[in-house]
């Protein structure tokens, strides 16, 4: 796949945000803030970074992407549809009976969905298991990416995995923390302080890169750096804006776990199409 | 029964911890299939995974004292085509990490083999914290999970080999202390099969794990009172061998279950569910009755909590007095 220019990736990320709003409105439940904030990262992963084949999701040489904070799965579903894993029409089935697009992702339901998640704190352990299996099989050209939430880091399981990946120096694992500073009960630093987060991961034997997670260019660079570091695993702390692109959702923790209603969705789509009023929408 | 090639019941039966059989089985499974891998949470000798580790150091991962990570790493390995055996004490795995087993292993129907050693009160002096009694109940309620409690070390060896050959989540329950060896190399074992170890017509003694030996002793005692007890060994608690169990119970019309764990949700629970829907008869459950264990020698504890042949025989007299026909 030829590399796309950053401008094109940014356009795709914005289209993905629009589809997230549409699918959440239709579903009538689900998480808004996290998926919107992660749209740039998922666009970069699926359209630039990952070695993958949407027409052959089980390709044996593919890179693995794990979504540990399963509640953010709307961004993954939409990005997978845009990347060609399935028809975008299916996005309308989110959270409906019989759908492959479950409220929280299930590995056995949707080809290309590498893990089942929702209960938090498991993705990094699974990434460790996968990287260890790859090492046993001498598969050196595959990489495992795992996206985690910041609130998720409250889970002890994460730190058990952090120790193991550090101990085993699994440089084929790259972690991505969606550092958006919100969780259900409020700001992360008041619910359960995570700082100094960079020091914490370094102390566990990780190389840490801190970036603006809504800057696609910076994220692609960070992933390239992570792959280049052979001595240890890399954790990318990606500072994102929850609800990114929709003014009334941005940085508001009350949008963690709810979908927009019809009027809110209309307003959100208008904002996304006009980039917050900076340009005129062709749709209106 | 002769076709089961059991050892004749004498007072001089050789004994061996059931976990030893697991260690040998895992080593053999590793030789048979290079996809078999192992991970342990700082109890590699205790759980007998050390044999595998010595032979296949590159296929063994030391996880440290981190049971949540243990099973979830197993899920990741299984996703890449491995057949991971993950071991610890049953109190910690599956005691501590049930949700990870549920979400990352059972919901995905992945072939992670969870091995819980030191189950039951016969752990002894370590006390209640380490005497896992609820593991069968915890594992039995999970969809896709297969639950196995072997009766002796030879059966554990066969069970381990059978576990390596199926594509589902499995739980294997092991005991710490030496358990009399009642089977031989020729005794059959198949996952999902119950075995009639002794024929009788008056009462069915349905037992699992370490308690099968006690049930056989109880049948001997009952024979002295003119009671012909049938002993059904149930090494696979899930899926339960409905056919063999119902056949026995339809013949005898009375049941005693026996296990070294909580009767609520355990084998006693499973048998009661089966019988109440299909063939209700008087049932008495021998096992732990909504309480924890405590420190003591294994022999003292089994006696103290009524987990021996005498109590099984007593329970048999009780159900016989309630029998309607």
Please report, for the domain that includes residue A207, its CATH number.
3.40.50.970
Query: How far does the CA of residue A134 sit from the closest CA of chain B (Å)?
Result: 8
- Is A113 among the domain residues? yes
A224-233, A248-257, B54-63: least confidently modelled range: A248-257
Residue B11 has pLDDT above 90, yes or no: no
- Is A282 among the domain residues? no
Query: How far does the CA of residue A178 sit from the closest CA of chain B (Å)?
Result: 21
For the entire predicted model, the pTM comes to: 0.96
**pLDDT averaged over chain B?**
97
- Across the A/B interface, how many CB contacts are shorter than 8 Å? 100
User: Which residue in A114, A122, A129 is closest to B77 by CB distance?
Assistant: A129
**Quick one: pLDDT at residue A14?**
97
User: Which residue in B59, B73, B108 is closest to A107 by CB distance?
Assistant: B108
- What is the signed CA dihedral for B236, B237, B243, B244, rounded to 10 degrees? 60
Query: How far does the CA of residue A8 sit from the closest CA of chain B (Å)?
Result: 34
* CA separation for the pair A219, A201 (Å, rounded): 18
Residue listed under structure tokens 């979400």: B103
A279-283, B64-68, B86-90: least confidently modelled range: A279-283
Residue of B69, B78, B81, B143 best to disrupt the A interface, most CBs of A under 10 A: B69
What is the DSSP pairing of strand A144-149 with strand A64-67? parallel
- Is A280 among the domain residues? no
Phi, then psi, of B140 in degrees rounded to 5 = -70, -25
Q: For B223-273, what is each residue's pLDDT tens digit?
A: 999 999 999 999 999 999 999 999 999 999 999 999 999 999 999 999 999
Which CATH number, 3.40.50.920, 3.30.750.24, 3.30.420.40, 3.60.21.10, labels domain B195-322?
A: 3.40.50.920
Percentage above 90 pLDDT, chain B: 96
Domain covering B15-180: architecture: 3-Layer(aba) Sandwich (3.40)
Q: Is B67 a catalytic residue?
A: yes
Average pLDDT over residues A28-43: 96
> What are the start and end residues of each CATH 3.40.50.970 domain in chain B?
15-180
Task: Report residue A282's pLDDT band, with 50, 70 and 90 as the boundaries.
Answer: low
**Quick one: pLDDT at residue B38?**
98
**Quick one: pLDDT at residue A283?**
58
User: Which residue in A125, A157, A160 is closest to B76 by CB distance?
Assistant: A125
Select from B164, B134, B176, B153 the least CA-distant residue to B43.
B176
Q: A73-83 and A6-27 are packed helices; what angle lies between their axes, rounded to 10 degrees? A: 120
**Quick one: pLDDT at residue B12?**
84
Residue B1 has pLDDT above 60, yes or no: no
User: Are B76 and A132 inside 8 Å of each other by CB?
Assistant: yes
User: Are A125 and B107 inside 8 Å of each other by CB?
Assistant: no
Interface predicted TM-score of the whole assembly (ipTM), two decimals: 0.94
Q: For A116-156, what is each residue's pLDDT tens digit?
A: 999 999 999 999 999 999 999 999 999 999 999 999 999 99
Q: For A182-221, what is each residue's pLDDT tens digit?
A: 999 999 999 999 999 999 999 999 999 999 999 999 999 9
Select from B27, B294, B25, B301 the least CA-distant residue to B163.
B25
In angstroms, what CA-CA distances link B249 with B78, B205, B225? 39, 9, 20
| A67 lies within 8 A of chain B by CB | no
Residue A1 has pLDDT above 60, yes or no: no
- Is A251 among the domain residues? yes
- Long-range contacts, A47-54 (Cβ 8 Å, 24+): A47/A4, A47/A9, A47/A12, A47/A83, A48/A3, A48/A4, A48/A9, A48/A216, A48/A220, A49/A145, A49/A220, A49/A223, A50/A145, A51/A142, A51/A143, A52/A112, A54/A80, A54/A83, A54/A84, A54/A85, A54/A112
| B64 lies within 8 A of chain A by CB | yes
Average pLDDT over residues A159-186: 97
Question: For chain A, what is the domain count?
Answer: 1
User: Are B109 and A108 inside 8 Å of each other by CB?
Assistant: yes
Nearest CA in chain A to B112: A129
**Quick one: pLDDT at residue A169?**
97
A108: domain range? Answer: 6-273
Q: For A229-274, what is each residue's pLDDT tens digit?
A: 999 999 999 999 999 999 999 999 899 999 999 999 999 999 999 8
Between CA B145 and CA B155, with CA B150 as vertex, the angle to 5 degrees is: 120
Query: How far does the CA of residue B169 sit from the closest CA of chain A (Å)?
Result: 14
Nearest CA in chain B to A142: B80
């Amino acid at each position: 796949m030829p590399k796309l220019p950053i401008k094109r990736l940014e356009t795709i990320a914005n289209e993905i945000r629009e589809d997230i709003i549409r699918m959440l409105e239709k579903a009538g439940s689900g998480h808004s803030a996290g998926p919107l904030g992660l749209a740039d990262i998922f666009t970069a992963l699926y359209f630039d970074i990952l070695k993958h084949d949407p027409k052959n999701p089980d390709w044996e040489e593919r890179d693995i992407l794990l979504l540990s904070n399963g509640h953010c799965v709307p961004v993954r579903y939409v990005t997978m549809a845009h990347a060609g894993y399935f028809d975008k029409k299916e996005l309308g089935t989110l959270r409906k009976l019989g759908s492959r697009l479950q409220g929280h992702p299930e590995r056995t339901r949707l080809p290309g969905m590498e893990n089942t998640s929702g209960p938090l704190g498991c993705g990094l352990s699974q990434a460790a298991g996968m990287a260890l299996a790859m090492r046993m099989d001498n598969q050196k050209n595959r990489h495992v990416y795992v996206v985690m939430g910041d609130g998720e880091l409250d889970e002890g399981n994460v730190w058990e995995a952090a120790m193991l990946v550090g101990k085993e120096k699994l440089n084929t694992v790259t972690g991505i923390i969606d550092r958006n500073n919100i969780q259900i009960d409020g700001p992360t630093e008041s619910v359960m302080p995570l700082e100094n987060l960079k020091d914490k991961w370094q102390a566990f034997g990780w190389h840490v890169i801190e970036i603006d997670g809504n800057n696609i260019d910076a994220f692609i660079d960070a992933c390239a750096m992570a792959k280049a570091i052979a001595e240890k695993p890399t954790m990318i702390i990606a500072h994102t804006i929850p609800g990114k692109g929709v003014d009334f959702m941005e940085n508001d923790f009350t949008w963690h776990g709810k979908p927009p209603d019809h009027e809110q969705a209309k307003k959100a789509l208008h904002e996304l199409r006009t980039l917050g009023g900076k340009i005129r929408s062709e749709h209106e | 029964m002769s076709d089961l090639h059991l050892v004749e019941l004498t007072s001089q039966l050789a004994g061996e911890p059931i976990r030893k059989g697991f260690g040998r089985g895992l080593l053999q499974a590793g030789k048979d299939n290079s996809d078999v891998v192992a991970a342990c949470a700082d109890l590699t000798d205790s759980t007998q995974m050390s044999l595998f580790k010595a032979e296949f150091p590159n296929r063994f991962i030391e996880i440290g004292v981190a049971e949540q990570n243990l099973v979830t790493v197993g899920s990741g390995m299984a996703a890449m085509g491995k057949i991971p055996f993950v071991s610890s004490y049953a109190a910690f795995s599956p005691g501590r990490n049930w949700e990870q087993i549920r979400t990352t292993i059972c919901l995905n129907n992945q072939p992670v083999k969870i091995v819980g050693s030191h189950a039951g009160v016969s752990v002894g002096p370590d006390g209640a914290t380490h005497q896992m009694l609820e593991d069968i109940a915890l594992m039995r309620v999970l969809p896709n999970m297969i639950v196995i409690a072997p009766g002796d070390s030879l059966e554990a060896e066969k069970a381990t080999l059978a576990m390596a050959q199926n594509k589902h989540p499995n739980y294997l329950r092991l005991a710490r202390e030496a358990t009399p060896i009642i089977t031989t190399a020729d005794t059959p074992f198949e996952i999902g099969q119950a075995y009639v170890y002794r024929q009788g017509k008056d009462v069915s003694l349905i037992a699992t794990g370490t308690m099968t030996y006690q049930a056989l002793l109880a049948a001997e005692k009952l024979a002295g009172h003119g009671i012909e007890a049938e002993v059904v060994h149930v090494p696979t608690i899930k899926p339960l061998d409905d056919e063999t169990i119902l056949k026995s119970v339809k013949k005898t019309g009375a049941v005693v279950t026996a296990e070294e764990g909580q009767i609520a949700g355990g084998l006693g629970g499973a048998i009661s569910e089966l019988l109440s829907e299909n063939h209700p008869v008087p049932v008495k459950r021998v096992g732990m009755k909504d309480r924890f264990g405590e420190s003591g020698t294994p022999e003292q504890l089994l006696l103290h909590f009524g987990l021996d042949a005498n109590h099984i025989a007593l329970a048999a007299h009780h159900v016989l007095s309630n029998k309607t026909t």
